[in-house]
């Protein structure tokens, strides 16, 4: 049975953090616009945005060593770290605006202060960390960072990591207390509750199957209502494809020229989660190590205190892996189905170039629990197998495209793809991901609503005071924004309150 349904201003596909953020921004900028959301699962935030499917790091380059690369002359390039930190500040400001306006409540349910640390071992890496610390610690965005290579100090900072460590290799760490743990699942659910209260129509169990341009320039979506079995058709002036791993296949259906010669490469993930409360209590930080040679940047190992379901947890990972699915709830045919005549050469070129990555991912899938425990013991020498369980994390679909670096180049960042007339946009890729959702959705707004952006600018600045301004170059504004967001989001270290 097929039924034609109405016309609307905006359709958001997928109920993850990206659609939640874009919907919340648009509701403030154009409250009169009608917005509909279609999500194939029963609830919001069940795929990559779910708290168990990502690492919950508020990525601001405080501890992630892959954002500061060593240049051939031995100096450290901090350009990317500054960019990512600035982008996270935009998220903090928008979330603070929502809290201060009482549009969402109880920020401690989605964001907690947590020291961010980098930890390295061996002469070469200790020298690198020291140089990185020198390059960052004078910068206003990274103020408060400390360095130590004194085992006594490190024992104070990370007792669990130092206990039972017998190696004489040099070891060092940096620590900065202004880091955060973000429960992106809780935040996504809060934002969808807020959108519902603003009369946004949210349709769960609705699988978007096709997207076509209509003669009058709108977009028509063919949607399978999984509850009734009906096929519905909805049209909109603007469509955002925020379907996570499901975005690439939907983008391909639009047929827009920008969707051609683009492919996706899925990378799956696993975490180890600690079940022993005594061990969990001994750690209080996110501690990032260095990626192994040949490992992709998303598999940098880290030992993280997390706040999930209002209680403290301890997770280690992620271990990368290979699965042909584009979503955790996807199909084994996703990868092969995404190969089209227009991207087959791009995909083949990537296949040839990335053989070592594929080999690495397959090796990772084959690891036994004991082999994973050995990797964990590089962080916690005394870790016991019975205290740790394996949980499957979310899928990431890395973008493959033809770039200056050559045909079929694998990208590790996020990619916003828009039609030339701005009537449709898709978000591909996954890193740095949810932390930078506000920055990425502002990019969508700038690209897709050029006629409105000037009129909206005042409201955007009211919500996000550093919009269009470099905080790195404006230490006074940085201090103001940092203090006001810390207050609004309740980011002061205190005992964990259960409620």
Ligand X SMILES: Cc1cc2nc3c(=O)[nH]c(=O)nc-3n(C[C@H](O)[C@H](O)[C@H](O)COP(=O)(O)OP(=O)(O)OC[C@H]3O[C@@H](n4cnc5c(N)ncnc54)[C@H](O)[C@@H]3O)c2cc1C
Query: Does residue number 301 form part of the binding site for ligand X (CB under 6 A)?
Result: no
> Which secondary-structure segment (H or E) carries 210?
strand 206-213
| Choice between 62 and 126, CB closer to ligand X | 62
Query: Does residue number 427 form part of the binding site for ligand X (CB under 6 A)?
Result: yes
Give phi and psi for 381, each to the nearest 5.
-55, -35
Tell me how far apart the alpha carbons of residues 261 and 252 are, in angstroms, rounded to a whole number.
Answer: 10
x/- letters, 261..300, toward ligand X (CB under 6 A)? --------x-------------------------------
Please list every residue from 139 through 198 that binds ligand X, using CB under 6 A: 184
**Smallest distance, ligand X to C-beta of residue 38, A:** 5
**Smallest distance, ligand X to C-beta of residue 189, A:** 12
Give phi and psi for 66, each to the nearest 5.
-75, -10
Owner of token pair 């006594």: 152
| Choice between 78 and 251, CB closer to ligand X | 251
**Smallest distance, ligand X to C-beta of residue 148, A:** 25
Other C-beta atoms closer than 10 Å to the C-beta of 79 total 10
Q: Is 329 helix (H, G, I), strand (E, B) or coil?
A: coil
β-strand 231-241 against 219-225: which pairing, if any? antiparallel
Q: Counting Cβ atoms within 10 Å, is residue 138 exposed (0-12), middle (13-18) or buried (19+)?
A: exposed
Paired with 4 in beta bridges are 233
x/- letters, 236..255, toward ligand X (CB under 6 A)? ------xxx-x---x-----
**Smallest distance, ligand X to C-beta of residue 485, A:** 17
Please list every residue from 360 through 379 that binds ligand X, using CB under 6 A: none
Query: Does residue number 93 form part of the binding site for ligand X (CB under 6 A)?
Result: no
Query: Does residue number 113 form part of the binding site for ligand X (CB under 6 A)?
Result: no
| Choice between 132 and 189, CB closer to ligand X | 189
**Two structure tokens written together for 465:** 């005071």
Return the range that interacts with ligand X (CB under 6 A); candidates 22-30, 39-47, 105-113, 337-345: 39-47
Closest CA to 414 of 436, 391, 431, 437: 431
| Choice between 55 and 383, CB closer to ligand X | 55
Paired with 120 in beta bridges are 172
Task: List the end-to-end C-alpha distance of the chain, in Å, as a whole number.
Answer: 47
Closest CA to 474 of 48, 52, 86: 86
Cα 324 to Cα 264, 367, 428: the distances in Å are 10, 18, 16
Tell me how far apart the alpha carbons of residues 163 and 90 are, in angstroms, rounded to a whole number.
Answer: 38
| Choice between 154 and 300, CB closer to ligand X | 300
Return the range that interacts with ligand X (CB under 6 A); candidates 33-41, 101-109, 169-177, 197-205: 33-41
Cα 7 to Cα 22, 223, 226, 422, 449: the distances in Å are 19, 14, 21, 18, 19
**Smallest distance, ligand X to C-beta of residue 451, A:** 26
| Choice between 28 and 39, CB closer to ligand X | 39
Return the range that interacts with ligand X (CB under 6 A); candidates 47-55, 115-123, 418-426, 458-466: 47-55
Closest residue to bound ligand X by CB: 16
x/- letters, 203..222, toward ligand X (CB under 6 A)? ----xx--------------
> Which secondary-structure segment (H or E) carries 379?
none
**Smallest distance, ligand X to C-beta of residue 392, A:** 9
Instruction: Using CB under 6 A, list all residues that contact ligand X.
Output: 13-19, 38-41, 46-49, 53-57, 59, 184, 207-208, 242-244, 246, 250, 269, 318, 327, 393-394, 396, 427, 430, 432-435
């Amino acid at each position: 049975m097929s039924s034609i349904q109405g016309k609307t201003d905006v359709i958001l596909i997928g109920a993850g953090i990206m659609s939640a953020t874009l919907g919340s921004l648009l509701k403030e900028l154009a409250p009169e616009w009608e917005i509909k959301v279609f999500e194939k699962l029963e609830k919001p935030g069940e795929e990559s945005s779910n708290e168990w499917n990502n690492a919950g790091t508020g990525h601001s380059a405080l501890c992630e060593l892959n954002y500061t690369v060593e240049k051939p002359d031995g100096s450290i390039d901090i350009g990317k770290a500054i960019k990512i930190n600035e982008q996270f500040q935009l998220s903090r400001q928008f979330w603070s605006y929502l809290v201060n306006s009482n549009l969402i409540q109880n920020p401690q349910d989605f964001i907690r202060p947590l020291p961010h640390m980098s930890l390295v071992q061996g002469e070469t890496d200790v020298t690198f960390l020291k140089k990185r610390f020198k390059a960052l610690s004078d910068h206003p965005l990274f103020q408060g960072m400390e360095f130590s290579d004194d085992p006594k100090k490190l024992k104070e900072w990370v007792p669990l990591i130092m206990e039972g460590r017998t190696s004489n290799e040099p070891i060092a760490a940096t620590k900065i207390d202004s880091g955060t743990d973000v429960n992106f699942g809780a935040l996504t659910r809060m934002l969808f509750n807020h959108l519902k209260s603003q009369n946004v129509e949210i349709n769960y169990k609705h699988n978007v199957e096709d997207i076509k341009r209509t003669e009058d320039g709108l977009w028509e979506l063919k949607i399978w209502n999984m509850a009734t079995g009906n096929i519905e058709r909805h049209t909109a002036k603007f469509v955002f494809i925020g379907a996570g791993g499901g975005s690439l296949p939907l983008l391909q259906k639009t047929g827009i020229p920008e969707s051609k010669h683009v492919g996706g490469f899925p990378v799956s993930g696993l975490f180890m989660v600690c079940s022993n409360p005594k061990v969990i209590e001994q750690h209080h930080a996110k501690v990032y190590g260095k990626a192994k040679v040949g490992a992709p940047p998303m598999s940098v190992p880290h030992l993280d205190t997390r706040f999930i379901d209002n209680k403290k947890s301890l997770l280690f990972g992620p271990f990368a892996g290979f699965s042909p699915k584009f979503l955790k709830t996807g199909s084994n045919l996703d990868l092969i189905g995404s190969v089209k005549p227009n991207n087959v050469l791009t995909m083949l070129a990537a296949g040839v170039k990335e053989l070592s990555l594929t080999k690495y991912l397959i090796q990772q899938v084959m690891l036994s629990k004991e082999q994973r425990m050995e990797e964990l013991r590089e962080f916690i020498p005394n870790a016991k197998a019975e205290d740790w369980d394996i949980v499957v994390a979310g899928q990431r679909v890395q973008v493959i495209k033809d770039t200056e670096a050559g045909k079929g180049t694998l990208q590790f960042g996020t990619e916003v793809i828009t039609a030339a007339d701005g009537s449709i946009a898709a978000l591909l890729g996954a890193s740095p991901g949810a932390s930078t959702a506000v920055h990425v959705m502002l990019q969508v707004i700038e690209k897709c609503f050029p006629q409105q952006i000037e009129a909206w600018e005042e409201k955007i600045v009211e919500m996000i005071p550093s919009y269009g301004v470099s905080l790195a170059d404006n230490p006074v504004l940085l201090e103001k924004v940092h203090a006001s967001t810390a207050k609004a989001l309740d980011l002061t270290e205190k005992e964990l309150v259960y409620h």
